[in-house]
Amino acid sequence: MAPEELRASLKGLGAVGFVPTMGYLHEGHATLIRRARQDHPDGRVVVSVFVNPMQFGPAEDLSRYPRNLDGDLQVAGQAGADIVFHPDAAQMYPEGFSTRVSVAGVSEPLDGAARPGHFTGVTTVVLKLLNMVRPDRAYFGEKDWQQLAVVRRMVADLNVPVQVVGVPTVRDPSGLALSSRNSYLTEEQKTRATVLSRALRAVQAAYADGERHTQALQQAGMNILTAESEATPDYLSVVNSHLQGTELVTPDPLNRVLVAARMFGVRLIDNLPLDPGPDGTGRNA
């Protein structure tokens, strides 16, 4: 389906909820789609499936990133999507394409430092997709916390007429955050990869015990993470709502602890609210 055909198919059909993905859909994506369906009972829900080459570095896993369009169509349909938009690279980046969208500040630390150019690829493709779909709301998982912050900053700065909705991370019973890249791992490796969530919970526990020094909080997590011989950390950072670290943590429900590490040749990320609050989400902290 070409972008103009997508717009024509949505014209006059009510409010639109949009879930942008890179495909290989799992329960985390299905949760986003169900939330969009819940919010748009009389409108339309659009899911995009596009493995965006612009957000992969030259040494990253673009060529082997998991793909299964038939499976994606099934998951999306069962979760309540009306349309799956599956453009190819030539439609997204036609000959002569020369524009990039960059967001300063929140895009620079953490994954921005570890993966130069990554967020420029994200914001460029997200803005293009938002312009193609023109949704009322767009849904992003909180597992990619920094990506969510970057998209929100872009939408606010450029006056994009869309509400960005963050949806809590979906985990398997072990605590491992669901990710398409988990498909690279064996069951034993997935079990060992729960070290990321265990490290995050160690930081939460230290904070609950009264620790407020950022370096000490981060060390509590690193002690867990580095005890796993297969974990090579990129970062484990306690940050505020601007994704900045401070010497001492000031109470704020948007304080977050984020981690990225490579395990068994796979780069994994995760995050949790520093103070989970009464309901476990951090929103009531």
Q: What is the tens place of the pLDDT at every residue in 201-238?
A: 999 999 999 999 999 999 999 999 999 999 999 999 99
Q: Mind listing the pLDDT tens digit for each residue in 251-262? A: 999 999 999 999
Mention the CATH class of domain 3-167. alpha beta
Thinking of the domain 180-273, which architecture would CATH place it in? 2-Layer Sandwich (3.30)
Annotated binding site: 22-29, 55, 141-144, 147, 170, 178-181
Instruction: Work out the pLDDT band at 285, boundaries 50, 70, 90.
Output: very low
Q: Mind listing the pLDDT tens digit for each residue in 83-93? A: 999 999 999 99
Contact 85, 46 (CB under 8 A): yes
Domain ranges in the chain? 3-167, 180-273
Residues paired with residue 269 on neighbouring β-strands, in sequence order: 260
Annotated binding site for ATP: 22-29, 141-144, 170, 178-181
Catalytic residues: 29
DSSP 8-class letter at 162:
-
Q: How far apart are CA 19 and CA 32, in angstroms?
A: 7
Q: How far apart are CA 233 and CA 236, in angstroms?
A: 7
CA distances from 13 to 45, 67, 82, 276 (A): 11, 30, 11, 39
| pLDDT average, residue stretch 156-180 | 98
| pLDDT average, residue stretch 110-131 | 97
The set of residues, in sequence order, having a beta carbon less than 8 Å from that of 20 and lying 6+ positions away, is: 47, 48, 50, 125, 126, 129, 138, 140
* Single pTM value for the model: 0.95
